Chain A
Amino acid sequence: MIPTAFDYARAGSLDEAFALLTKHGDGAKLLAGGHSLVPMMKLRLAEPSALVDISGIAELAGIAFDGKRFTIGALTKHAALAASDELQRHAPVLWEAANHLGDPQVRNRGTLGGALANGDPSCDYAAVMFALDATFAVASKSGRRDDSASGFQRGMFETSLGPGELLASVSFAAAPHSAYAKFAHPASHYAIVGVAAVLELEGGAIASARIGITGVGEHAYRAGGVEKALIGVRASDATALAAACAGAASGVEVRSDAQASAAYRSAMTEVFTARAVAAAAQR
């Protein structure tokens, strides 16, 4: 790894992190797990003048569950999410996404907040946060503000985080009937299509649904049309389920690349939406 020269400072607390960001100015970048930033630096596509290492700030890591809501620190590693029994029971969609993210080395270093703050259009968690209707807690020197999944995400590699702000945690209500279905790129293992489904069920039929989709468009989105169409559908009825998921990519400017053309990606969005919903209904 041969990046350009940069300063490095380690923050022991949030206050210290904000002070360091101020000190190092516009060229400074936050370093959490480093699994997106460091490869960019290696390729010299990112040339930060300073790295403010926040990976040691204890208050930003950990999974808290009060029986109804989860609050998860931004520095919580993928491996911790993937190993959490509470998540597996009460919000399996996030547990599943964490388990299918990268490989063991990536999961042992990369963080939930780092992945979300990077704003990658194929970020698994972005879809999951949409489906969980999560609240994003954003911290800065001047205090905290809350944001929604749709508010946080602004575009490709673009979030609502302003200068001097960092993502502190996300919180969401338990979602036992939830699942994540992923069609992974064979090389990068990023989502070609990733679909997060959170359901409420009544008598075997879907009473309400939230569907978050990543990898398909410029950024993750909620498939509102599908959510409406799913109401009343029995997930065991494959034909009805497929029909309800038919618009999963409609209205989206679908991406095209060597692994998946827009037409194929659209079709796979429908397939994986149906798979996520069927899996969520089984839980």
Chain B
Amino acid sequence: MAFTTLMGAKVKRREDPRLITGRATYVDDVQVVGLLHAAFVRSPYAHAKILNIDVSGAKSSPGVLAVYTSADLRAAGLDVSMPVAADIPGMVKPPHPPLATDEIHFAGEAIVMIVANSPYAARDAAEAVAVEYDELPVVVDMEKAVAGGPYAHENLGTNIAYDLPTKVGDVDGAFAAADVIVKQRLVNQRLVPCPMEPRTMLAQWDTGPGALTLYSSTQIPHLLRTNLAILMGLPETKVRVIAPEVGGGFGAKLQFYSEELLVAWASRQLARPIKYIETRSENFLAMTHGRDQIQYVEAAAMKDGRITALRMKIYSNLGAYHHLLTPAIATFTPMMSIGCYTIEALECQLIGVFTNTMSTDAYRGAGRPEATYLVERMVDLVAAELGLDPLDVRRRNFIAADAFPHPIATGLVYDSGNYQGSLAKLLELVDYGAFRARQAEARKQGRYLGIGFSTYVEVCGMGPSAAMPAPGWDSATIRVEPTGSVTVMTGISPHGQGQETTFAQIVATELGVPIDNVVIVHGDTDRVQYGVGTFGSRGTAVGGAALKLAIDSIQEKAIKIAAHVWEASPGDVEYRDGKIQIKGVPSKSLTTAEVGFMAFRGVNLPPGLEPGLDATRRFEPPNFVFPFGAHACIVDVDAQTGVTTIERYVAVDDCGPIINPLIVEGQIHGGIAQGIGQALFEAAEYDENGQLTSGTFMDYAIPHAAQVLSYETAHTSTPTDVNPLGIKGVGEAGTIGSVPAVVNAVMDALAPFGVKHIDMPLRPEKLWHAMQSKRNGAAHT
């Protein structure tokens, strides 16, 4: 049979048949004997003192086995604060108890845990709990919060968690020498991640060995295990975490939630398995949110469009508590605000702010969409100010294609890039001149078309351990089984990224085994060696790189065995076209399966070589990777209604060599959809009392299929030397690149009305008002 490489092949996702036919096992599908169910009483108020909790009605409610308040936890020895992995020197860290103690800090905060014999009994009992509150003043607005009281935590005396300055290059000199200074306040609104599967968990305490199994819809099973063991005071070897099928995470399941701790803890207390499946309403209230920055930006530019410096003051709304990575997310924003440009000087004051809202944390892009939006909007505003074409301004500022690796002012080193190349490819697909002509013609007829560009670069493949709040490496084990099947244990925890397919493609190609004989195991800490998980577009760039190292080890050993069989020198034996052969003698070959069986059988092996054909390797990334691309969006804004219709969306992305184009495009498509969501529709909104007013899918507008379109995608391929596959991450690129493209397009459409900037989401009413103001002769900015 002729050898076919599967690298770059459009292999259909092996995960999909079980997912789309309802045969996948999610946490809620796991049934165990004696299962109990948890429910939580959550605060209706955003900020209040708890005066009294009367649980008598709940305790006598039918089917109830246990009712826990914060006092009960402490009395039973669980007196802990939920961990925060990210640290910023001098950062204020208010305690984060798993159940509220005497003060509530956001609407939706858990106060009482109920365990009952059915979810219905648990919910009924939760309603029977009577909590007496004394309402406290609420702070929701970040800018008011930094000015003084009221304080989100009454006794903290401040709402500022940290105030982090950055200053690099001659900022003051650049501003003094600038021909123009363009200033803009940009709001990057709060979003709700909305995975299809909310937070789900099932804890099972096994009294015999005194061991715990936690099924959880998580992105980080091993890190969750470590944290759980520490907080529960258990040996880590007695904690097993299983992430079965996970229905999306988007960063919000890169987390250790107090509910996970409590369900596990209560399972040990009661020696019974306990399941908790949160409702969608709870998911809106109590799963971490994303974004929520206010950015004051000044750009110094020269007449020719060169941008010489940025000055920024950025407020990051942290919410009420630090979750695992809450304080770290916004630090990516100044770090990446240079974009793909040669901006040498930059000053930023980044202020992390507590408010009486749900915490923010990672959400697809996590700090980088905020950076890309910032710089890509500013580039367009500089162009508008100078009367230059936004593409010319981009070209004038691009880092040269021969300048990589390229250290940027904020200290990162861009690994590889060709920003001119992706833009050129984009312009092969979009006839810019023809669009401008059509736009001019349409305007005469009262139709407002616009085109927006985004040339982005982002940082992912997280990351070098020294630069991460957690380990940055990941791991892979490959086992060639006696029959020649190959088992791969990966330390990443895919939940939609498709590595059961792409990793199998790599293994099948490199070891020459049929893809159906390759199984990718993940998401079970008892089956898989320690791994760090899936987030920060690291799955393939780090986990895949570890897999490549393990393949190298397998090949090396297989070559030694084959060489011994042939009485040849290992140096004369190689893997070629999926087989082991003597160099230049293709007629003499062995398969991995054949050599694997020899290794299993344990006879005729070279002296000193252990039996078995398996390998475990870890990859420590020497740098992040920096995928990039150029997106264009064409919109039609209805002048009568302000409704934006996206006519075309064209994306050119560069994530290095592509293992599976279907999966890469799927990631890009999903990312763009979420970007369009932020640009046009989505906003997590709290009223002045700290009530989430967009807490259902009736109010919170994630884009429906009919609200998006068929994207046109293309790629350039610029490999990285950061990992042995040469690839970069692609999970977040679509979201990062797309938001400014959409907003720039709408602003371009509204240019005849003198509109320079409108904050997201670009709801029809805002655009209509902007157009009305101009029609009515009023000035508008």
A interface list, Cβ under 8 A from B: 2-5, 42-44, 103, 183, 185-190, 258-261, 264, 267-268, 271
Contact = CB atoms under 8 A, between A and B. Distances in A.
B620 to A, nearest CB: 44
B693 A258 contact: yes
Given A2-B123, A259-B763, A261-B765, A271 B641 contact: yes
B685 interface: yes
A187 B768 contact: no
A258 B124 contact: no
B681 interface: yes
Interface in B256-285: 279, 281
B281 A43 contact: yes
B685 A258 contact: yes
Nearest to A275: B640
A102 B39 CA distance: 31
Contacts of A189: 704
A176 to B, nearest CB: 27
B701 A186 contact: yes
B122 to A, nearest CB: 8
B28 to A, nearest CB: 12
A103 B765 contact: no
B120 interface: yes
A277 B704 CA distance: 28
A186 B768 contact: no
Contacts of B694: 258
Contacts of B404: none
Interface string B697-737: 11111101011000000000000000000000000000000
A189 B703 CA distance: 11
11 contacts: A2-B39, A2-B119, A103-B706, A186-B680, A186-B701, A187-B681, A190-B698, A258-B694, A259-B765, A264-B765, A268-B641
Contacts of A271: 640-641
B780 to A, nearest CB: 16
Contacts of B697: 187-188
A258 B695 CA distance: 13
B769 interface: yes
A97 B325 CA distance: 47
A4 B697 CA distance: 22
B281 A5 contact: no
Of A186, A187, A259, the most chain B CB neighbours within 10 A belong to A186
A258 B119 CA distance: 34
A150 B667 CA distance: 51
Interface in B741-781: 763, 765, 768-769
A4 B124 contact: yes
Contact of A187 (B119, B641, B701): B701
A154 to B, nearest CB: 23
Given A2-B123, A186-B681, A271-B641, A260 B707 contact: no
Contacts of A187: 681, 697-702
Contact of A188 (B680, B681, B698, B763): B698
Nearest to B118: A2
Contact of B704 (A5, A103, A264): A103
Contacts of B641: 183, 268, 271
Contacts of B699: 187-188, 258
Given A183-B643, A258-B693, A264-B768, 19 more contacts: A2-B279, A3-B120, A5-B124, A43-B281, A44-B123, A44-B127, A183-B641, A186-B701, A186-B707, A187-B697, A187-B700, A188-B697, A188-B698, A188-B699, A189-B704, A258-B694, A258-B699, A259-B763, A264-B769
Interface in B580-620: none
A43 B640 CA distance: 37
B96 to A, nearest CB: 27
A213 to B, nearest CB: 16
Contacts of B279: 2, 42
A2 B707 contact: no
A268 B772 CA distance: 13
A260 B643 CA distance: 12
Nearest to B706: A103
Nearest to A242: B640
Nearest to A4: B124
Interface string B16-57: 000000000000000000000001000000000000000000
Contacts of B765: 259-261, 264
Nearest to B699: A187
Contacts of A2: 39, 119-120, 123, 279
A179 to B, nearest CB: 17
A154 B418 CA distance: 65
Of B39, B119, B641, B704, the most chain A CB neighbours within 10 A belong to B641
A255 to B, nearest CB: 13
B382 to A, nearest CB: 31
Nearest to B703: A186
B642 to A, nearest CB: 8
A87 B626 CA distance: 56
Contacts of A261: 765
Contacts of B706: 103
A187 B765 CA distance: 15
A183 B769 CA distance: 17
A43 B124 CA distance: 12
A258 B694 CA distance: 9
Nearest to B39: A2
B560 to A, nearest CB: 59
Nearest to B280: A42
Contacts of A258: 683, 685, 693-694, 699
A27 to B, nearest CB: 16
Contacts of A44: 123, 127
Contacts of B120: 2-5
A50 to B, nearest CB: 16
B489 to A, nearest CB: 37
Contacts of A5: 120, 124
Interface in B641-670: 641, 643
A260 B766 CA distance: 9
A112 B640 CA distance: 31
A3 B702 CA distance: 26
Contacts of A188: 697-699
Contacts of B680: 186
Contact of A267 (B643, B707, B768): B768
Contacts of B640: 271
Contacts of A186: 680-681, 701, 707
A42 B123 CA distance: 11
Contacts of B681: 186-187
A93 B769 CA distance: 30
A216 to B, nearest CB: 14
Interface in B84-127: 119-120, 123-124, 127
A130 to B, nearest CB: 23
Nearest to B123: A2
A103 B705 CA distance: 10
A190 B697 CA distance: 12
A271 B768 CA distance: 12
Nearest to B772: A267
A2 B275 CA distance: 14
A244 to B, nearest CB: 16
A5 B63 CA distance: 13
A3 B119 CA distance: 10
Nearest to B643: A183
Across the A-B interface, give the 7 residue pairs with the lowest CB-CB distance, nearest first.
Answer: A187-B701, A186-B701, A188-B698, A264-B765, A2-B123, A186-B681, A271-B640
Nearest to A1: B279
Contacts of B768: 264, 267
Nearest to B124: A4
A183 B640 CA distance: 12
A187 B761 CA distance: 13
B681 to A, nearest CB: 5
Contacts of B704: 103, 189
B281 to A, nearest CB: 7
Contacts of A103: 704, 706
A20 B555 CA distance: 74
